[in-house]
Amino acid sequence: MIIRKGEASINKKTKNAIIEYVLNNYTIFVFQGNLSKFDILIKYNNDNSRMRTPKHIHWVVDVLMKIQGETNLTKQFLNCIKNFWNSSKPLENNNFETLKNVILDGKKYINLESYTKLNEFGEFDIEFLYVLMELLSIQEKTNNSKAYMFGNIIDELLQEKINIYKIVYKAGFRKRG
């Protein structure tokens, strides 16, 4: 992974990304968000395609494929992510150094090499999922320290008997207004 200062912008009106994580097949971009002072807006793309905002359903489908291929290993990975989510705190700053350190510090507690077998299943490699899921965790906690959606989806994926309908519902939840 290469971590660099942000160069990309979403359009001519937005500022450059704060930080970019360049991974094997994808780049994850983090921009200033609009929901709170330290909110982050996460985008990603593949091979210079258009930037997409990650939805929970994107990574959930990938994780379900990994569970089908290597159940125990995938659940070990999810337990690591759940531990990070449980201990994550709202951002007190969303500058380059803070966002860089979130990912690098987290890597001290997870041996990504031990999960590379999971790269055989699904679209996303394990390093991409790790960075994305860490960023989604801190994004959720920054905007609402009592938030639970990300954690609830992980809990559902860790169940002995997975209820795919419940997971897809939670991952695709949209607030109706």
Averaged over 56-60, what is the pLDDT?
90
Domain presence at residue 145: yes
Domain presence at residue 67: yes
Q: In the chain, what is the greatest distance between 2 CA atoms, to the nearest angstrom?
A: 48
Domain presence at residue 8: no
Residue 176 clears pLDDT 60, i.e. is over it: no
Return the pLDDT at 154: 93
Domain presence at residue 105: yes
Placement of tokens 């759940």 in the chain: 82
Residue 54 clears pLDDT 60, i.e. is over it: yes
Domain presence at residue 20: no
Q: Residue 71: give the domain boundaries.
A: 54-171
Q: What is the pLDDT of residues 8-31, one digit of tens each?
A: 888 777 789 999 999 999 999 999
Domain presence at residue 46: no
Annotate the chain with three-state secondary structure: CEEEECCCCCCCCCCCCCEEEECCCEEEEEEECCCCCCCEEEEEEECCCCCECCCHHHHHHHHHHHHHHCHHHHHHHHHHHHHHHHHCCCCCCCCHHHHHHHHHHHHHHCCHHHHHHHHHCCCCCHHHHHHHHHHHHHHHHHHCCCCCHHHHHHHHHCCCCCCHHHHHHHHCCCCCC
The tally of domains found in the chain comes to: 1
Q: What is the pLDDT of residues 69-79, one digit of tens each?
A: 999 999 999 99
Return the pLDDT at 173: 57
Averaged over 74-97, what is the pLDDT?
94
Domain presence at residue 156: yes
Return the pLDDT at 174: 54
Tokens of 59: 């990574």
Report whether 132 contacts 42 (CB < 8 A).
yes
Q: What is the pLDDT of residues 99-150, one digit of tens each?
A: 999 999 999 899 999 999 999 999 999 999 999 999 999 998 998 877 778 8
Averaged over 156-161, what is the pLDDT?
92
Phi-psi region of 7 (alpha: psi -120 to 50; beta: other; left: phi over 0): alpha
Return the pLDDT at 48: 74
